[in-house]
Every structure is written in structure tokens, then in C-alpha cells.
Amino acid sequence: MATTKIDLTWTDKAIGRMLYQFNTLESNINNLIFAYFQPSREAEAFKNTLLNSSVLGMGPKIKILANMTDFDTKILDRIRRVANIRNSVAHNNPGGFLDVKKHEGSVIISVMNSSGKLKNLKLAEQEKLFYEHCKEIDEYLKGYGEKLME
């Protein structure tokens, strides 16, 4: 069988890395929610069905986190921001089938801000912010999870 070579641009690779990182983040959030509630009945169904992203999206998961004891609201804001960037690159597809919007040589993506307004922002800057927030979120989730195990 012949294979097709796919030439990936920097934009394609950046998008792929961010989507992968977001999936990892969501998995960590799922594990934390599971650890917090410690379901004794139907634990596997809780984890594999209820927390499945096709059943329960990130928005409701953020609401669950917001109602967990002493969960930091700053981290909730960071998760929302990361989710907005993820949605922007996943659904706007700046490097794929749609025309790439460029401004002064930069790839531009439309990202929703906290007021619900779309803003055109540079992908490279949003990627940097995305990873900074993910690092902060991951560290917080790890610490919160460790406190749950005490």
C-alpha cells in the first residue's frame, strides 16, 4: 500500500500540539473530579461514561470544579482561557482547509474573550499563553489532588 506524504506547516504542528495538550489537561481534570467524588458504585461508568467528553463537555466540568471545596477561581479562569484558545484553533482551522488569515506575517485566529466577544489574535502569542496557562493549571491540579489524598 502506498503512503501519502503530508507536509505539515508550523501552524498545523502548533494546532496538533495544542489539541494533544488540551486532551491531556481534560484527562487530568477527569481524574481529579473522579478522585474528589470517589464514587463507590459504578465507578467505571462514572469515569468512562459520565466524564467522557462526548457526554460531559469542558463547560460543565469547569462548573463541577467551581463547586469543589476551595478550588481556586483564578485556575478556573485559566482553564476557560485555555479552552477558548483550544476551540479557536480546533474550529477556525487557520492552517488547513480555510484561507490562512495573516497580518504582518503572523497567523491570526479568532478567540473568544471573557465577555463573549471574538478578537483576532496572533496564533504564536496565543500558543505561548496556552502553554503557560496549562503549566500553571497542571501544577495546581496535581497539588489539589495530593491534598485530596491526605
DSSP class per residue in 40-99:
SSSHHHIIIIITSTTTS-HHHHHHHHHTSTT--HHHHHHHHHHHHHHHHHHHH-TTTTSP
Question: 40-80 pLDDT, tens per residue?
Answer: 889 999 999 999 999 999 999 999 999 999 999 999 999 99
Question: Which neighbouring-strand residues pair with 108?
Answer: 122
The pLDDT value recorded for residue 12 is 81
Model confidence at 101: pLDDT above 60: no
The pLDDT value recorded for residue 88 is 87
Question: 9-27 pLDDT, tens per residue?
Answer: 888 888 899 999 999 999 9
The pLDDT value recorded for residue 113 is 80
Question: 76-93 pLDDT, tens per residue?
Answer: 999 999 999 998 888 775
The pLDDT value recorded for residue 104 is 56
Cell 481534570 belongs to 29
Strand order in the sheet with 102-103: 102-103, 106-112, 118-122
Name the residue among 66, 6, 76, 64 with its Cα closest to residue 30: 64
The pLDDT value recorded for residue 103 is 54
Question: 117-148 pLDDT, tens per residue?
Answer: 888 888 889 999 999 999 999 999 999 999 99
The pLDDT value recorded for residue 49 is 92
Cell numbers describing residue 74: 483564578
The pLDDT value recorded for residue 110 is 83
The pLDDT value recorded for residue 26 is 97
- 29 within 8 A of 112, measured Cβ to Cβ: no
How much is the pTM?
0.85
Instruction: Collapse the DSSP code of 103 into the 3-class scheme (helix H, G, I; strand E, B; otherwise coil) and give the result.
Output: strand
Domain ranges of the chain: 10-148
